[in-house]
C-alpha cells in the first residue's frame, strides 16, 4: 500500500506544530548540551553512553581536519574510509559502509547521492564542524533502520541556539605541500537585538594532483597482471617499458576545488528557539583511475591493436565530478512544564545534482531532491525514569540520466515512529528503544513498487562497579529495507568496475547482535573497550556472477547469512611533568572480521593500531603518533590482498597569549613518505594515499 498520503498528513502536522513553538529569550538556553545526540537522545555525555561513541572536537578535530568527512574521521575507533581520491571519502564503521552508515548534518541526513556509489562525495563541509559525533552499536534507532551500522553526525552550528554577548568571528587559513593546496574558512555569529542571532559561514578549498611515494599501481596488482600476461606473446622488455610508463610520484586527476556558503537566522528565548538556514555546497574533483564509458566499452578493441598508441590516447578520458547542493534547514525547540518537558523539531530539504564529466563531455547526471523531518517529545524525569517519543519522515526523488545510469528513477518514502526509555536503579542504568518503519520504493521506469514494514528493538544497561569503573552490555534486533540501488540497478557502474544488476525479489535484512563495553577512568589514566558480534539474516551484498557485460564483470545484488565481530580498545596515561613539560601517552587497537556462509566479505578493514604521545608546555602543544594497518589477506574471491603500512604524523600548535584567540599549527603527515593503501577502497590498487605532507594553518577568533 502507498504511504504517501499518511506521510503528507504527518508532515503538515509537524509544520503546524513547529509554527506554534513560541521561541523565547534567554542567552543561557542551549547550555545543557545534548552531547551524544544519537546514543542517548536524553541529555548526557560520551561516558554516559552504553555502546561505543566518539566525539571529534577541539584541537583533535583541528589536527584531523581533511577535505572529506571520511578522511577526517578515519583515525577514530572503529572507523575507516572508502577513500576515492581527494574529493570523495565516506566513513566506514566496523566494516560497514554505504546505506548502512547514515551521515547527518545537525541531525538530518546529508540528502545527496554518496551512499549510492563510493565516487560520490558527501555534501557536508568538515571545515565548518564544531564537532563530529560517531555513533556505533544498536542505539541508533532515532535516525532510521538503514543506519544500523552506525551514524556520523556533523554539528556545525548553522542554526544558533544561544544569543552571544558580542559578535563571534572565526577565521582559518591553511596550506598543504603534498598537493599545493590552500583552504580558507570563516564563520560569524552576530546578535540582532535581544533575541535574534545571525549566522554566516563560508569555505573555499583548492588542491592540485597530490604526490605519492611511488607508482600509482600497487606491486600486488602489477604482479597479478604479469601472471595474466605470462601466456601471451610479450617479452620482458615490453613489460619493463609498461612499468616505466606508469604514473609515478604524482596521482593524475586527483585535484579538487570546492566552496560553500551558509546563512542562518534564529529567534532565541527563555523557553526555546526556532531557526532556519540556507546552505550552498559546490565541489568539482577528479576521479583518479577513472575512465569514460566509451573506453570501457571498447576495451577489447583497443587490445586487438596494441600498436595503435595514438588511438589509445585519443580514447582515454579523465573523469571528474561537478557537484552542487542547495539545502534549507529548520530547527526548533520548546520547553514545557509538566509530563513533557521539551518538544524539538528537525527538518531539512535539499536539491542535489552532480554531473560526471568524461573529459569535457557530460557522461551522467545524478539528481536527488529530498526532504526529512523529525519531531520529538522528551518526557520529564519521574523517579529515575525518562523517555522520548518521535516520528520521522523521509522522502527521496532520485534519478540518473546518461551513460552510467545504472539505477532507474526512483522515489523512496519512509515513515518511522520510535521511542527511547531510560531508568536509573541506583548504580544500574537501563535503556530500551523500539522503532517501527514503513519504507516504499517506486521504480518510475516500469511503475514497480516495493513496500517493507520494519521493526527494530534494542535494550541494554550499564553498572557502576565503582565511581571509576563501568561495565555495559546491549542486545538488539534491527531490520533494514533494501535500497533502490540494491533492488533496481541494471547497468555499468564504472566507479566500481562492475555491471550491477539489482534483485527486486530481495527481502528485508535482519541483524541480531550484542555489544559489551568496559570503561575505567582514573585520575591519571583511562581504558575503554568495546566488543561486538552481529549475525545477519539475509545480508545484502554484490556477488560476482562470472559473466561479463560491456567489458565489465557482472555483479548481482544477493542476500546471504553473514557475521561481523570485532572490537576496539583505547587507553591513555598521564606520565606527569618531565621538567616543565606535561606528558601523556595513548593507544588504540581495532579489529573486525566479516564473512558470509560462503566466504569473506570484500573491503573489510584489517587490524589497525595507533600509538601517540602528547607534550604541553607554555603556549605550545605537540603530538607525535604512529599508525599501523596490518596486511589484509582475508579477502573475497574478487579481491587482491593489501600490504601493511606504517605512517608517522606530528602536530605542533602555538597559541600565544594575545587579546585575540589565535593559533599557529604545523603538521607533518606521513612523515616517512610511506606507501599506504586503504583496503576498504574500491581503488586501493591504483590510488594510494597521499605521500609526505607538510600543512600549515592559522586560526583567529575574535
Tell me whether residue 35 is in a domain.
yes
Residue 638's pLDDT is: 86
Q: Is 556 exposed, middle or buried (0-12, 13-18, 19+ CB in 10 A)?
A: middle
Residue numbers of the domain that contains 388: 4-216+251-701
Tell me whether residue 321 is in a domain.
yes
Residue 40's pLDDT is: 52
- Please give the Cα distance from 697 to 62 (Å, whole number): 10
222-243 residue pLDDT tens: 999 888 777 565 555 555 555 6
In sequence order, what are the residues at sequence separation of 6 or more whose Cβ sits closer than 8 angstroms to the Cβ of residue 640? 218, 220, 221, 224, 685
- List of E strands, 270-403: 272-286, 319-335, 340-358, 361-382, 385-402
- Please give the Cα distance from 669 to 672 (Å, whole number): 9
Distance of CA 296 to the CA centre of its chain: 30
Give the H/E segment covering residue 229.
Answer: helix 219-229
* Long-range CB contacts for residues 464-470, cutoff 8 Å, separation at least 24: 464/427, 464/428, 464/429, 465/427, 468/520, 468/521, 468/522, 469/518, 469/519, 469/520, 470/47, 470/517, 470/518, 470/519, 470/520
CATH code: domain of residue 165: 2.40.170.20
Residue 314's pLDDT is: 45
DSSP string over 124-179: --GGG-SEEEEE-SS--GGG-GGGTTEEEEEE--SS--S--SS-EEEEEEEEETTT
Residue 35 has pLDDT above 50, yes or no: no
- Is the separation of the CB atoms in 57 and 130 below 8 Å? yes
Residue 620's pLDDT is: 97
Tell me whether residue 242 is in a domain.
no
Give the H/E segment covering residue 16.
Answer: helix 4-19
Residue 474 has pLDDT above 60, yes or no: yes
**Position with higher pLDDT, 31 vs 551:** 551
Total domain count, the chain: 1
Residue 290's pLDDT is: 59
Tell me whether residue 245 is in a domain.
no
Tell me whether residue 168 is in a domain.
yes
Angle between helices 236-244 and 219-229 (to 10 degrees): 150
Mean pLDDT, the chain, rounded, equals 88
Least confident of 144-153, 306-315, 581-590: 306-315
Report residue 392 as a C-alpha cell.
520521522
User: Average pLDDT for residues 39-51, to the nearest whole number?
Assistant: 60
The answer, as to whether pTM is greater than 0.85, is: yes
User: Average pLDDT for residues 3-8, to the nearest whole number?
Assistant: 42
Length of the chain counted residue by residue:
702
Collapse the DSSP code of 249 into the 3-class scheme (helix H, G, I; strand E, B; otherwise coil) and give the result.
strand
Residue 296 has pLDDT above 70, yes or no: no
**Position with higher pLDDT, 51 vs 19:** 51
Furthest CA-CA distance within the chain: 84
**Position with higher pLDDT, 228 vs 216:** 216
Residue 550's pLDDT is: 84
Residue 295 has pLDDT above 90, yes or no: no
Tell me whether residue 58 is in a domain.
yes
Going by pLDDT thresholds of 50, 70 and 90, the confidence category of residue 368 is: very high
Closest of 170, 173, 199 to residue 186, by C-alpha: 170
User: Average pLDDT for residues 515-527, to the nearest whole number?
Assistant: 94
Closest of 296, 217, 284, 252 to residue 493, by C-alpha: 296
Least confident of 33-47, 469-483, 610-624: 33-47
Amino acid at each position: 500500500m502507498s504511504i504517501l498520503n499518511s506521510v503528507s498528513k504527518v508532515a503538515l502536522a509537524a509544520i503546524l506544530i513547529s509554527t506554534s513553538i513560541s521561541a523565547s529569550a534567554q542567552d543561557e538556553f542551549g547550555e545543557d548540551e545534548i552531547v551524544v545526540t544519537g546514543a542517548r537522545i536524553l541529555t548526557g555525555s560520551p561516558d554516559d553512553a552504553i555502546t561505543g561513541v566518539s566525539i571529534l572536537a577541539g584541537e583533535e578535530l583541528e589536527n584531523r581536519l581533511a577535505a572529506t568527512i571520511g578522511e577526517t574521521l578515519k583515525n577514530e575507533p572503529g572507523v575507516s574510509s572508502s577513500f576515492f581520491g581527494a574529493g570523495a571519502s565516506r566513513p566506514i564503521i566496523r566494516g560497514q559502509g554505504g546505506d548502512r552508515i547514515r551521515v547527518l548534518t545537525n541531525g538530518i541526513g546529508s540528502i545527496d547521492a554518496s551512499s549510492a556509489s563510493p565516487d560520490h562525495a558527501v555534501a557536508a563541509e568538515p571545515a565548518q564542524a564544531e564537532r563530529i559525533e560517531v555513533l556505533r552499536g544498536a542505539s541508533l534507532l532515532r535516525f532510521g533502520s538503514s543506519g544500523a551500522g552506525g551514524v556520523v553526525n556533523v554539528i556545525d552550528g548553522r542554526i544558533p541556539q544561544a544569543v552571544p554577548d558580542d559578535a563571534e568571528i572565526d577565521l582559518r587559513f591553511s596550506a598543504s605541500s603534498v598537493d599545493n593546496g590552500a583552504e580558507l574558512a570563516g564563520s560569524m555569529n552576530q546578535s540582532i537585538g535581544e533575541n535574534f542571532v545571525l549566522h554566516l559561514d563560508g569555505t573555499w578549498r583548492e588542491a592540485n594532483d597530490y604526490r605519492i611515494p611511488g607508482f600509482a599501481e600497487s606491486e600486488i596488482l602489477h604482479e597479478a597482471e604479469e601472471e595474466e600476461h605470462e601466456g601471451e606473446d610479450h617479452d620482458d622488455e615490453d613489460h619493463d617499458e609498461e612499468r616505466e610508463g606508469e604514473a609515478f610520484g604524482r596521482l593524475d586527476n586527483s585535484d579538487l576545488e570546492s566552496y560553500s556558503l551558509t546563512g542562518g537566522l534564529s529567534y532565541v528565548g527563555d523557553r526555546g528557539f526556532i531557526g532556519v538556514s540556507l546552505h550552498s555546497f559546490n565541489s568539482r574533483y577528479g576521479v583518479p583511475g577513472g575512465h569514460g564509458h566509451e573506453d570501457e566499452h571498447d576495451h577489447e578493441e583497443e587490445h586487438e591493436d596494441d600498436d595503435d598508441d595514438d588511438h589509445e590516447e585519443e580514447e582515454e578520458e579523465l573523469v571528474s565530478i561537478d557537484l552542487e547542493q542547495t539545502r534549507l534547514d529548520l530547527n526548533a525547540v520548546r520547553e514545557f512544564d509538566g509530563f513533557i518537558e521539551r518538544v524539538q523539531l528537525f527538518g531539512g530539504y535539499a536539491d542535489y545534482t552532480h554531473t560526471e564529466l568524461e573529459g569535457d563531455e557530460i557522461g551522467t547526471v545524478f539528481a536527488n531532491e529530498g526532504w526529512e523531518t523529525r519531531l520529538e517529545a522528551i518526557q520529564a524525569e519521574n523517579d529515575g525514569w525518562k523517555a522520548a517519543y518521535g516520528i520521522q519522515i523521509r522522502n527521496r526523488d532520485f534519478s540518473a540520466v546518461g551513460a552510467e545510469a545504472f539505477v532507474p528513477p526512483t522515489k523512496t518514502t519512509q515513515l518511522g515512529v520510535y521511542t527511547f526509555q531510560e531508568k536509573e536503579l541506583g548504580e544500574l542504568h537501563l535503556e530500551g528503544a523500539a522503532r517501527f518503519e514503513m519504507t516504499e520504493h517506486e521504480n518510475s521506469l516500469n511503475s514497480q513498487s516495493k513496500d517493507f514494514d520494519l521493526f527494530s528493538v534494542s535494550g541494554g544497561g550499564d553498572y557502576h562497579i565503582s565511581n571509576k569503573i563501568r561495565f555495559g552490555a546491549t542486545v538488539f534486533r534491527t531490520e533494514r529495507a533494501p535500497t533502490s540501488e540494491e533492488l533496481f540497478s541494471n547497468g555499468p557502474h564504472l566507479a566500481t568496475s562492475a555491471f550491477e544488476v539489482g534483485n527486486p525479489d530481495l527481502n528485508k535484512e535482519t541483524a541480531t547482535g550484542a555489544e559489551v563495553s568496559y570503561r575505567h577512568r582514573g585520575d591519571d589514566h583511562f581504558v575503554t573497550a568495546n566488543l561486538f558480534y552481529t549475525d545477519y539474516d539475509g545480508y545484502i551484498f554484490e556477488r560476482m556472477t562470472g559473466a561479463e557485460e560491456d567489458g565489465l564483470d557482472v555483479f548481482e545484488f544477493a542476500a546471504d547469512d553473514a557475521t561481523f565481530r570485532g572490537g576496539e580498545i583505547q587507553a591513555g596515561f598521564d606520565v606527569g611533568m618531565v621538567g616543565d613539560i606535561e606528558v601523556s601517552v595513548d593507544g588504540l587497537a581495532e579489529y573486525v572480521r566479516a564473512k558470509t556462509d560462503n566466504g569473506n566479505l570484500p573491503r573489510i578493514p584489517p587490524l589497525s593500531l595507533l600509538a601517540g604521545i602528547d607534550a604541553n608546555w607554555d603556549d605550545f602543544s605537540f603530538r607525535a603518533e604512529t599508525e599501523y594497518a596490518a596486511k589484509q589477506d582475508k579477502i573475497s574471491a574478487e579481491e587482491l590482498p593489501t600490504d601493511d603500512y606504517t605512517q608517522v604524523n606530528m602536530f605542533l600548535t602555538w597559541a600565544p597569549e594575545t587579546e585575540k584567540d589565535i593559533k599557529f599549527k604545523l603538521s607533518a603527515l606521513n612523515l616517512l613518505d610511506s606507501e599506504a593503501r586503504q583496503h576498504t577502497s574500491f581503488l586501493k590498487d591504483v590510488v594510494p594515499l597521499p605521500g609526505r605532507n607538510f600543512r600549515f594553518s592559522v586560526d583567529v577568533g575574535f
